[in-house]
Chain A
Amino acid sequence: MTINRSYRKIKLQYIGRKEIRRINFTEASFKKMLLLSAIGLVVVLLAIFVTLLISSLPSIKAIGVGFIYGKTWDPVVDHYGGLPFLIGTLLTALLALIISIPFSLAVGLFLGEYFRSGVISGIFKNIIELLAAIPSVIYGFWGLFVLVPLVRSLETTLGVPPYGVGIFTSSIILAIMIIPYSVSLTAQVISLVPANLKEAAYSLGATRFEVIKNIILPYTRSGIFAGILLGLGRALGETMAVTMLIGNSHIIPTSIFSPGNTMASVIANEFTEATGDIYLSALIEMGLFLFVVTTIINVIGRRVIKRFSIN
């Protein structure tokens, strides 16, 4: 019907050269608009990078590589060393990965192999997807009132300072937040394993566990790796929940129960109040670092996915 209507209108318009010229012009502008919007996006991305780079120059000039290994972040004397935050970021992200990997693998197998379709699968799939829909700030809020007291009693039992907040608490919340991202990919690649491969193994008398161990996991290795990588990208840049739960301390963490700070949480805490050009610039430099690292991770991740889906 839609086509009909368009057709009729065109017939009416097909009267003179003027109209044709007008249509041709609109046609050209339409294509130009599509082209411009696509170019625009690439330009915005480049502009983000250039802006971050230019704005971090004062700090790069003033501090140089000391930014990476400097241990003290002291705005009083204008000295900015990012090591505590680098360690804090890596520690929380890695810990979150370690916690999340068994879970995301299990859910991936659950959805991609054991329960591929049906009501149960649908329910669990939706629940896991909704985990990703809950805003970071709500995870932080919930963590503050539910998780922190639990972690505190654990810490009391273990005999470490019972802060409650800290690297460990943030990592648990981060793990919950990245599971859906890893799962969506893991489940997908696991379900893509060719049936004939699996059937061949079954016909040789393999149990399901053996099929998973010897066929599915080796076959999907790169896809699972990409899922983990994307989860890592997510964990590195996550801000609000971590800011609320990590304890915001500028000391290099000495254990997983120590309070700490990640790059993102430092930016969230100090960006609006950074007096002094170098201070602000040092914070932007951390933003640049996050941008570059997450970009690299994402590009590698997508490459792996692409190669997998071509296979």
Chain B
Amino acid sequence: MKTFYAALVATTLLLSACGGGKTDETKTDNGKTEEPAIKEILGAGATFPFPYYSKLFDVYNNEKKIKVNYQSIGSGGGIKQLQSKTVDFGASDAPMSDEELKGSPSPIVHIPTCLGAVVVTYNIDGNPGLKMTSDIVADIFLGKITKWNDKRIKEINPDAKLPDLAISVVHRSDGSGTTYIFSDYLAKVSSTWNTKPGKGKSLDWPVGLGAKGNEGVSGLIKQTPGSIGYVELNYALQNKMPIASLKNKSGKFVTANLESTSAASNVDLPADLRVSLTDTDAPDGYPICSFTYLLVYKNQKYDTRTEAQAKGTVNLVWWVIHDGQKYAKDLDYAPLPEKAIKAAEANVKSVTFDNKPIL
């Protein structure tokens, strides 16, 4: 078995050597720049900012001729793949927990890229705009409210035509930052929720269907009459799905939009930027928002990583928090507030290669 293993590794290495050779060849026709240009950066993680990232990286490829391959496999996946060093950067909407940071091979920095809101969206006849309180949302997702014409939903939506239809809860089947943000909010506002199922990227859901990614959840909700779920704002808007307005801490019903999201971000930020924005105190703030982060290793020299690759990754991150910000609004994400950019800059600058700062 050992010999087989060795043979397998040898063939793989041989093949990767061949492949490597090929890229070197193509590199020369790329112009003889002083430093070897990198052509590809690999990232994976959150689906929540995926529409924004896919726009950003498309622009980045046009401008800098560097292909950023971003796979939206969910925040859990992003963290996992970064930890096992299969990607250049990870992406997550949930800041990494202390245990996750401890479980990583070396320190990781969080760089926020934009602000997003998680909205409650549904599919019922006529799709009336509904109002909801935190209790109602929690009880629907706990499986305690099972019908659309439930007394409690009717009470605060007297004008809406609510059908006598079973509620099908749709949640994420993959480890997700969107789930984290949503459950973080529910855990803050409902003590029942806090004890079970609690908050996290994957939960032991008491009811409902699972779907993969924000894409999958919105797809399933669109397909299933009577369903309700939570997705990032952009997914709901792009697919013309109805959005519930939520009662925030100050007792105001707020719809998720750029202003109410930005309002929620107006808090003091810790240096590592791991912060929860849910259930905001801001009177006009939407209660379920969050930063979404790119994650990179603080010390970029690991394994066989080249300085060029490290530099390319850091340059990309720097570009995202500056030039990239202007693309956020069009896709319904709130750009970072000035305070957050300053803090993010400090974080990017703290990244080193061989103990030398990269920027």
The answer on direct contact between A and B (beta carbons under 8 Å) is yes
CA of A72 to CA of B205, assembled, Å: 10
Query: In the complex, which residues of chain A have a beta carbon less than 8 angstroms from the beta carbon of B208?
Result: 249, 259
Contact of A247 among B78, B166, B209, B225 (CB under 8 A): B209
Query: In the complex, which residues of chain A have a beta carbon less than 8 angstroms from the beta carbon of B174?
Result: 269-270, 273
Contact of B4 among A40, A149, A249, A270 (CB under 8 A): A40
Q: Mark B179-208, 1 if CB is under 8 A from A, else 0.
A: 000000000000000000111111111111
CA of A270 to CA of B210, assembled, Å: 12
CA of A275 to CA of B336, assembled, Å: 28
Query: In the complex, which residues of chain B have a beta carbon less than 8 angstroms from the beta carbon of A75?
Result: 175, 200-202
* Contact B197–A162 (Cβ < 8 Å): no
A20-28, A42-50, A98-106, A285-293: which lies at the B interface?
A42-50
Query: In the complex, which residues of chain A have a beta carbon less than 8 angstroms from the beta carbon of B201?
Result: 75
Query: In the complex, which residues of chain A have a beta carbon less than 8 angstroms from the beta carbon of B200?
Result: 75-76
Query: In the complex, which residues of chain B have a beta carbon less than 8 angstroms from the beta carbon of A76?
Result: 197-200, 202-204
* Contact A44–B4 (Cβ < 8 Å): yes
CA of A39 to CA of B81, assembled, Å: 35
Cβ < 8 Å to B, chain A residues 76-96: 76-77
CA of A270 to CA of B174, assembled, Å: 6
- Chain A: interface residue total (CB-CB under 8 A): 36
B157 on interface, CB distance cutoff 8 Å: no
CA of A249 to CA of B203, assembled, Å: 11
Name the residue of chain A whose CB is nearest to the CB of B205.
A250
CA of A72 to CA of B206, assembled, Å: 10
Name the residue of chain B whose CB is nearest to the CB of A149.
B223
B69-77, B235-243, B318-326, B345-353: which lies at the A interface?
B69-77
Query: In the complex, which residues of chain B have a beta carbon less than 8 angstroms from the beta carbon of A248?
Result: 173, 209-212
B19 on interface, CB distance cutoff 8 Å: no
Query: In the complex, which residues of chain B have a beta carbon less than 8 angstroms from the beta carbon of A60?
Result: none
Query: In the complex, which residues of chain B have a beta carbon less than 8 angstroms from the beta carbon of A162?
Result: 166, 168, 224-226
Cβ < 8 Å to B, chain A residues 110-161: 144, 148-149, 152, 161
Query: In the complex, which residues of chain B have a beta carbon less than 8 angstroms from the beta carbon of A276?
Result: 103
CA of A101 to CA of B103, assembled, Å: 50
CA of A162 to CA of B103, assembled, Å: 42
Query: In the complex, which residues of chain A have a beta carbon less than 8 angstroms from the beta carbon of B79?
Result: 273, 275
A231 on interface, CB distance cutoff 8 Å: no
Query: In the complex, which residues of chain A have a beta carbon less than 8 angstroms from the beta carbon of B197?
Result: 74, 76
CA of A249 to CA of B198, assembled, Å: 17
B100 on interface, CB distance cutoff 8 Å: yes
* Contact B168–A73 (Cβ < 8 Å): no
* Contact B205–A249 (Cβ < 8 Å): yes
Cβ < 8 Å to B, chain A residues 243-301: 243, 247-251, 259, 261, 269-270, 272-276
Query: In the complex, which residues of chain A have a beta carbon less than 8 angstroms from the beta carbon of B103?
Result: 275-276
Name the residue of chain A whose CB is nearest to the CB of B4.
A43
Q: How far is the CB of A262 from chain B (nearest CB, A)?
A: 12
Query: In the complex, which residues of chain B have a beta carbon less than 8 angstroms from the beta carbon of A308?
Result: none
Q: How far is the CB of A109 from chain B (nearest CB, A)?
A: 39
Contact of A269 among B5, B80, B173, B204 (CB under 8 A): B173
Range of interface residues on B (Cβ < 8 Å)? 35 or more
Query: In the complex, which residues of chain B have a beta carbon less than 8 angstroms from the beta carbon of A251?
Result: 205-207
Q: How far is the CB of B171 from chain A (nearest CB, A)?
A: 9
* Contact B175–A275 (Cβ < 8 Å): yes
Query: In the complex, which residues of chain B have a beta carbon less than 8 angstroms from the beta carbon of A44?
Result: 4
Q: How far is the CB of A173 from chain B (nearest CB, A)?
A: 16
Name the residue of chain A whose CB is nearest to the CB of B71.
A272
A225 on interface, CB distance cutoff 8 Å: no
Query: In the complex, which residues of chain A have a beta carbon less than 8 angstroms from the beta carbon of B175?
Result: 75, 270, 273-275
CA of A275 to CA of B208, assembled, Å: 23
Knowing A74-B204, A76-B203, A152-B224 are in contact, say whether A269-B77 is a contact too (CB < 8 A).
no
B83 on interface, CB distance cutoff 8 Å: yes
B1 on interface, CB distance cutoff 8 Å: yes
Query: In the complex, which residues of chain B have a beta carbon less than 8 angstroms from the beta carbon of A227?
Result: none
* Contact B204–A165 (Cβ < 8 Å): no
Name the residue of chain A whose CB is nearest to the CB of B175.
A273
Knowing A249-B210, A250-B204, A273-B73 are in contact, say whether A161-B166 is a contact too (CB < 8 A).
yes
CA of A276 to CA of B93, assembled, Å: 18
* Contact A275–B1 (Cβ < 8 Å): no
Query: In the complex, which residues of chain A have a beta carbon less than 8 angstroms from the beta carbon of B73?
Result: 272-273
Contact of A148 among B76, B83, B205, B223 (CB under 8 A): B223
Q: How far is the CB of B73 from chain A (nearest CB, A)?
A: 5
Query: In the complex, which residues of chain A have a beta carbon less than 8 angstroms from the beta carbon of B212?
Result: 243, 248, 269
Q: How far is the CB of A305 from chain B (nearest CB, A)?
A: 30
CA of A211 to CA of B272, assembled, Å: 80
CA of A276 to CA of B97, assembled, Å: 12
Q: How far is the CB of A274 from chain B (nearest CB, A)?
A: 6
CA of A162 to CA of B165, assembled, Å: 9
Q: Mark B295-320, 1 if CB is under 8 A from A, else 0.
A: 00000000000000000000000000
Q: How far is the CB of A156 from chain B (nearest CB, A)?
A: 9
Cβ < 8 Å to B, chain A residues 15-63: 40, 43-44, 46-47, 50
Query: In the complex, which residues of chain B have a beta carbon less than 8 angstroms from the beta carbon of A163?
Result: 168, 209, 224
Which 6 interchain pairs have the tightest Cβ spacing? A248-B210, A273-B77, A248-B173, A273-B76, A76-B200, A74-B204
Query: Can you report 30 residue pairs joining A to B where beta carbons are below 8 Å apart?
Result: A46-B1, A47-B4, A47-B5, A74-B197, A74-B204, A75-B202, A76-B200, A76-B203, A162-B225, A163-B168, A163-B224, A164-B223, A165-B209, A165-B220, A247-B210, A248-B211, A248-B212, A249-B205, A250-B210, A259-B208, A270-B174, A270-B175, A272-B74, A272-B80, A273-B77, A273-B79, A273-B174, A274-B175, A275-B83, A276-B103
Given contacts A163-B224, A249-B210, A273-B175, 8 further A-B contacts (CB under 8 A): A43-B1, A72-B204, A76-B198, A76-B199, A76-B204, A162-B224, A249-B209, A273-B78
- Interface of A toward B, CB cutoff 8 Å: 40, 43-44, 46-47, 50, 72-77, 144, 148-149, 152, 161-165, 243, 247-251, 259, 261, 269-270, 272-276
